Amino acid sequence: MIYPTTTAFFAGLFALLYLGLAGWVVAGRVSGGVLIGNGDDALARRVRSHANFGEFVPFALLLIALLEAGGGGHGLVTGLLVVLLVARLLHPVGMLAPANSPQQFACRGGGILATFGVMAVAAIALLLR
CATH of the domain at 107: 1.20.120.550
For the chain, which ranges sit under pLDDT 70?
none
Quick one: pLDDT at residue 62? 98
Q: Of the candidates 80, 74, 86, which has an alpha carbon nearest to the alpha carbon of residue 117?
A: 80
Quick one: pLDDT at residue 56? 97
Number of structural domains (the chain) is: 1
Quick one: pLDDT at residue 98? 87
SS3 100: coil
CA distance 81 to 89: 12
Quick one: pLDDT at residue 32? 83
Quick one: pLDDT at residue 116? 98
Domain interval for residue 13? 5-128
